[in-house]
Structure 1
Amino acid sequence: MPPPHIGFELSSKIFTLLTEWKVDKKIFSITLDNASSNDTCVEHLKSTLDVHGSLLCGGEFFHVRCSAHILNLIVQDGMKICGVAVCKIREGIKFLRKSESRMVKFKECFEDIEGLEYTTALCLDVPTRWNSLYAMLASAIPYKKAFEMYKVKEVGFREYCPSSYEWRRTEKICDFLLPFYETTKLMSGTSYPTSNLYFLQVWQIQLILMNSLKNDEVLIRNMGEKMMIKFKKYWEEYSVVLAFGAVLDLRFKLNTLIHCYNEIDPISAKDKVEHVKSKLYKLFEVYDQNFSTTVESSSQLSRNFSQATSSAIGTQLIKIVGVNNHHRFPTLSLMARDLLSIPVTTVASESAFSMDSHVLNKYRSRLLSDNVEAVICTRNWIRGYDDFEEDKDQEDIAKVEGYSSGVGSNDVIDLYEDEDEN
């Protein structure tokens, strides 16, 4: 849609499209990043849909925040104090990649180091992608001896070569960032990660940050403290609607939540589990009222629920969650379908619209908007994302090194542009 991209205009456009597509009565949730305009958009859209009776539970579970963007904001705060060694590695790689002769001389260093081979290329990080910083460090650490050897051959490289102490700190930083890197890859992947993956990922991140506060390395402790502040801002109370995904996943169910909450804080664990259970039962009752069928087992279930106490409802729901049989429990299967299909991130969908520079460029810039949409969508449906992501990585690296790439402003995992507005 044309500017301005303010909340009210976004809300009106989305509602128009939902109505046009005849799905305005079928919306369960919407996943957005943390831009302030999106918060305004959600409030307007939720009010509009609620007026038309289109939202369950008055839209209590409607707004889902993009987990990839939140994780990026958390890690960003830690990266601000990474230290001089990271800057040296970045500038050193830039120095080497500036000319082919430097890279040739650098590779010659491997001949003098027994057991060391140049098997993977040195990566250069991209400012808009924090996870590329991890990739850069991981590519450089195995070659630290070659860095030392090269600085003897090239005087101008000496200021870019980290000391032994700086290399050790960099290795610790890299080890610390690895779980965040893996989680970012999962959440920012193009396979549309859904709500059943959310809870355990956030729980794992919290455990890592809690342990980092007790780390022997001062730098890791400082990074952990910065990141924990941002974690508490967004994830201190895990999203309830996304916690439902873990309960409904047959591999996890409610016992997983109990274990995870106890690992974090045994004192508050019981209250947190009860909170999730009460919300889940509330949602189930709404589904049972709104989507009841003529199937005998469903009718019997409905009657049981209407007469049972809250605890009995909970017991029955927990039992049938573990049964994969939509014929026996059609209401529950509908609820599970909607909850488990909630995207935890907006990145996968954003990537489809990051192909603008592949469709519109200085040689082809007069396509009608409908034709542009058709080209982007059909390419995405037919070819997927893999080829596009590989091309995008190469363009981003070229852009960092100062070459003209014509890359668009939105990246597949372009997370630094997200707003931290609250």
Structure 2
Amino acid sequence: MVQSAFNEIDEIINKIKFLAWSKSPPLWYLTTFKLQNALKLKDMGKFTPENVDHLYNVASEEEWQKVRIVCRITGRIYEIIKPLYEAKTKTANLFLPLLLEIHTCILQESATCSNQFVKDLGDKMLQVYTLYWDEMYSMLSITAFLDPRFKMELIKLKCKEKYAEVCGNLRKIYDSYSLQYDENEYVLSDSDTYFAEEDLKLVQEYNSEMSSVNDQSEKSDFDMYLEEPIVTEPDMENFSVLSWWKENSLKYPKLSLMARDLLSVSMSPGNGNELFYTEPRRVDSTLGSLEEERLMNALSCTRSWKFRYDYS
């Protein structure tokens, strides 16, 4: 999305490079910082004819205004996602609220702006956003549900059109985990019973009766989780969803298994600065040193796994 915004002012960026630019890695947030610095220098009157001679009129006032607009948008995106990539544990539940923040507070706002340049910019960035959203909203919504600070409230508020579908998917996944849990539930062995042979039948009948009563009165931990109020911690920034599920695993035994698996799913292949590169990077030496046949085999296996192709 950010690169699509920079593409709109690519020629202007090339002009500004003559005025104030330092060599640095091709990271888009650094490009934003350098453009912001150039704007500050211009506003301070540093780019006067005496200082830059013939380069003073390289960028027009209209072009500078476009740079200002792009910097405002890309700067806001960076501020939103920065905490995510600084987090020690990047669990999957963190992505949806940040993505919705970008969509609602930046992209939609830009796409409905009266300024034609801002509107066109918002439309192009929304196209990129939509491609990702259509592929990922289900997984992002399910993992956000497993965050006790959000549950279904965030989806109900910001993704109303997807609410019924997400609820259905959640129920299906939970049912599969519930079935797995019931099949593996601990059963007392003969050596663990303290009842005599003649008493065992009576105990079994009693347990059967009580199970029938409990089945009618007890709710699933899925429903209990939904009915409990959302968690409001005084120190939300340091809230650990994995620690919360560990502490509440006895209260929600089946749902905690589901949370353990889904929250551990990696939502991004990169870390730190890898996610901000705007140019292709060198192939990892471990992969690049493979022989052609082994490299092709590795890629084929990966493709087979990703798309479930059968090469047999």
TM normalised by structure 1 equals 0.49
Q: Give 1:280's aligned amino acid.
A: L
3-state DSSP class of the match of 2:152?
helix
Write out aligned runs for 1:376-387 (5 A). none
Q: Give 2:226's aligned amino acid.
A: I
1:86 matched to 2:13? yes
CA–CA separation in structure 2 for the residues paired with 1:295 and 1:252:
36
1:247 matched to 2:145? yes
Write out aligned runs for 1:163-202 (5 A). 163-189=60-86, 191-202=88-99
Write out aligned runs for 1:60-71 (5 A). none
Residues 77 and 227 in structure 1, CA contact (< 8 A), matched pair in contact too:
yes
Match of 1:319 in 2: 227
Match of 1:206 in 2: 103
Match of 1:331 in 2: 254
Runs of 5+ in structure 2 lacking a partner? Answer: 189-207, 232-243, 282-312
Give the drift of 1:204. 2.0
Match of 1:75 in 2: 2
Residues 221 and 251 in structure 2, CA contact (< 8 A), matched pair in contact too:
no
CA–CA separation in structure 1 for the residues paired with 2:24 and 2:49:
22
Give the drift of 1:260. 0.7
Runs of 5+ in structure 1 lacking a partner? Answer: 1-73, 98-123, 263-268, 352-388, 390-410
Label 1:165 to 1:187 Cα distance change in 2 as closer, same or farther (>3 A).
same
1:340 matched to 2:238? no
Label 1:163 to 1:147 Cα distance change in 2 as closer, same or farther (>3 A).
farther
CA–CA separation in structure 2 for the residues paired with 1:126 and 1:243:
34
**What RMSD over aligned residues (CA atoms) do the two structures have, in Å?**
3.5
CA–CA separation in structure 2 for the residues paired with 1:220 and 1:227:
11
TM normalised by structure 2 equals 0.64
Give the drift of 1:138. 2.0
1:154 matched to 2:52? yes
CA–CA separation in structure 2 for the residues paired with 1:211 and 1:318:
32
Residues 107 and 125 in structure 2, CA contact (< 8 A), matched pair in contact too:
yes
Residues 243 and 276 in structure 1, CA contact (< 8 A), matched pair in contact too:
yes
Give the drift of 1:274. 1.4
Q: Deviations over 1:100-124 (max 9, x none)?
A: xxxxxxxxxxxxxxxxxxxxxxxx5
Write out aligned runs for 1:227-238 (5 A). 227-236=125-134, 238=136
Q: Give 1:417's aligned amino acid.
A: P
CA–CA separation in structure 1 for the residues paired with 2:81 and 2:43:
30
Write out aligned runs for 1:33-72 (5 A). none
3-state DSSP class of the match of 1:93?
coil
Match of 1:417 in 2: 280
Residues 94 and 144 in structure 2, CA contact (< 8 A), matched pair in contact too:
yes
Residues 195 and 243 in structure 1, CA contact (< 8 A), matched pair in contact too:
no
Give the drift of 1:93. 1.7
Q: Give 1:289's aligned amino acid.
A: L
Q: Give 1:319's aligned amino acid.
A: E
Give the drift of 1:326. 1.4
Give the drift of 1:257. 0.7
Match of 1:131 in 2: 29
Label 1:338 to 1:289 Cα distance change in 2 as closer, same or farther (>3 A).
same
3-state DSSP class of the match of 1:88?
helix
Label 1:335 to 1:93 Cα distance change in 2 as closer, same or farther (>3 A).
same
| Count of aligned residue pairs for this structure pair | 238
Residues 9 and 66 in structure 2, CA contact (< 8 A), matched pair in contact too:
no
CA–CA separation in structure 1 for the residues paired with 2:229 and 2:74:
36
Residues 222 and 255 in structure 2, CA contact (< 8 A), matched pair in contact too:
no
Label 1:415 to 1:83 Cα distance change in 2 as closer, same or farther (>3 A).
closer
Q: Deviations over 1:14-38 (max 9, x none)?
A: xxxxxxxxxxxxxxxxxxxxxxxxx
Give the drift of 1:275. 1.0
Give the drift of 1:158. 2.4
Label 1:88 to 1:328 Cα distance change in 2 as closer, same or farther (>3 A).
same
Label 1:77 to 1:295 Cα distance change in 2 as closer, same or farther (>3 A).
farther
Q: Deviations over 1:170-197 (max 9, x none)?
A: 2222112223222443454473422111
CA–CA separation in structure 1 for the residues paired with 2:147 and 2:79:
21
Q: Deviations over 1:210-233 (max 9, x none)?
A: 221221322221211212222222
Match of 2:158 among 257, 260, 265: 260
CA–CA separation in structure 1 for the residues paired with 2:120 and 2:275:
30
Label 1:202 to 1:214 Cα distance change in 2 as closer, same or farther (>3 A).
same
